[in-house]
Amino acid sequence: MTCESICIRIRFALPGVEHCRINLKMQIFTVVYLLGLSLALQNVHCFFVDTAAHPKENSTKRKHKSDDGPVVVKIELGQSLNTISPHFVGVNIDSDTVRYHWQTLDFSSQKLQNLARALSPSYLRMGGTSADGMNYFMGNATAAGTQVFNAGHHVAKPPFNITADQWVYLNEFLRTVSWDFIFDLNALKRNADGSWDPDNARQLLQFSADRNYTIAGFELGNEFDIYRSEYDVTVAPAQLAQDVMTLQKLLTEFPKYKSSFIIGPETAYFAPEYFQAFLAAGGYKAVHAASFHHYYLMTDEERNLQHFTDIDMMDTMKAHLDEVFAEVRSVDPQLPVWLSETSSANNGGLAGLSDAFVAGFLWLDKLGVCAVKGVETVMRQAFYGRDYSLVDGDLNPNPDFWLTVLYKRIVRGAVFNATGRHDVRVYAACANTDNFKAGSLVVYMLNPNNYSVTFDLPQFQSQSRLVYSLTPGDSNGLISKFVSLNGVKLELVNDELPDLKPESAPPGVVTMDPYSYIFVVFPEAKISICLH
């Protein structure tokens, strides 16, 4: 036989040893042995040797940078790159929660309502793969049953109903916590000619209008570029563009929703040509924003602790956004861009990692990159539901919840270009005038390294500052399920959020602990762009 490729990945399990990294000689011996065995067996083509660190092991150590001196931060304050609005950060709830009767999501829970209010103002997007299989059963017996799938083909997620009671339950919660709703409509409702059938959506809109429910925006379908694998159905980009125009026309039938916006095409971005083809086919005329999804850790090789603090992994987001904006701008120079579904890892995230302190590095960096590149809205997958959620199945906040609350409270307004050093991350923007005086500046920084880093901000050398330093909340370090703010572990008190107060710091340099992220507010900066 011939073996055209050898994939080297092996995991050793030794008695009493949780994980063992093998040295080079041992790897060579192992490969030779396995290759010989494969030739003998004549039917083995590839062996996989996995030398990745155990997820609980700190494999992200890098050479200490103490000799490099402080990181000199330069901020270009004369020009704004983008504007962070109150709705810049939003959240998602997957439609699957309806399929499973909301799971443990209790909208009447005071604790849940307190957590949700802490993120307000915010968009709540309900979407995901299951959105396309949802029938709107608003008391009309004919509402269900018109779902169209290719006959005889396997359906990954079969259709299901959302009832009138469930719809009311959700919308009353949104009113209570003052969230703005974006709903993903069932694009698999198809006529014989392949066009979208809006009848079921019309019933839902009528039911909602009768109850005066506000729906800020809509989507039509989810991740069309992977429809074939999910439903064995293909909707061409040009057809989707026509379908969105049909939705646009449908909304004009209801005074309550004629001003609601539409975003699309909601691609997973495995086939970027679909994204651009939809816009070029006229979709850009019907959508308020071009929307797409993004996850960092998609392959088995990436889904480990090391990549959560990997600067090179963070850099991939910049290149990805450059590609997205190039495609959008080639069709419409002014069309906003939304990242409408995103988290660290897809398929629910990674247990013990996506719900741990370490997840904050990819999340905060993504918010910084998106702000600099010009993304209008970033929607976190998810508020509740899986390992990548802000709130866990017991309705307790994960570390990224606290980080998201702080971001929304601290950062708002003009975005500035900030430079530092490649082993760290630095971002700058106006501080939120709801909580700080006009003209205040916030610089937020990430140190994803196992060494302390000192930052020198010479433009504000003589100014006092307010510091929000985030570190792991217990001895579990990076995989801690808790976060500390200025050394104090953050936890709910009688289902209420504690005060998230900064520490006052004197003028001078800022020193960050290993594996930490920080917001530094300069209340006396008097940045002219931030004064207006």
Q: What is the pLDDT of residues 385-434, one digit of tens each?
A: 899 999 999 999 999 999 999 999 999 999 999 999 999 999 999 999 99
Give the largest Cα separation in the chain, rounded: 75
pLDDT of residue 66: 53
pLDDT of residue 138: 93
Angle at 49 between CA 45 and CA 54, to 5 degrees: 150
Bigger pLDDT: 172 vs 18:
172
pLDDT of residue 140: 61
Q: Does domain 67-78+417-531 have CATH number 3.30.1330.60?
A: no
Domain boundaries, the chain: 67-78+417-531, 95-413
CA distance to 92, 104, 331, 470, per residue, from 403 (Å)? 16, 23, 35, 8
Q: Is the pLDDT of residue 80 over 80?
A: yes
Low-confidence winner among 3-17, 319-333, 438-452 (lowest mean pLDDT) = 3-17
In tens, the pLDDT along 245-279 reads: 999 999 999 999 999 999 999 999 778 899 999 99
Q: Is the pLDDT of residue 90 over 90?
A: yes
Element (H, E) at 370: helix 359-373
Q: Is the pLDDT of residue 113 over 90?
A: yes
Are the C-beta atoms of residues 357 and 472 closer than 8 Å to each other? Answer: yes
> Reduced to 3 DSSP states, what percent helix, strand and coil does the chain have, rounded to the nearest 5?
30, 25, 45
CA distance to 304, 329, 335, 368, 532, per residue, from 79 (Å)? 38, 21, 21, 17, 14
Q: Is the pLDDT of residue 131 over 80?
A: yes
What 3-state DSSP class applies to 453? strand
CA distance to 234, 242, 288, 505, per residue, from 376 (Å)? 29, 25, 11, 32
Q: Dig out the tokens for 13 from the structure.
A: 């399990």
Q: Rg for the chain (alpha carbons), in Å?
A: 25
Match domain 95-413 to its CATH number in 1.10.3370.10, 3.20.20.80, 3.40.50.300, 3.40.50.720: 3.20.20.80
This prediction has a pTM of: 0.87
**Residue 40, phi then psi, degrees to nearest 5:** -70, -40
Chain mean pLDDT for the chain: 87
Q: Of 478, 513, 444, which is closest to residue 57 (Cα–Cα)?
A: 478
CA distance to 134, 288, 292, 389, 477, per residue, from 97 (Å)? 11, 27, 22, 13, 31
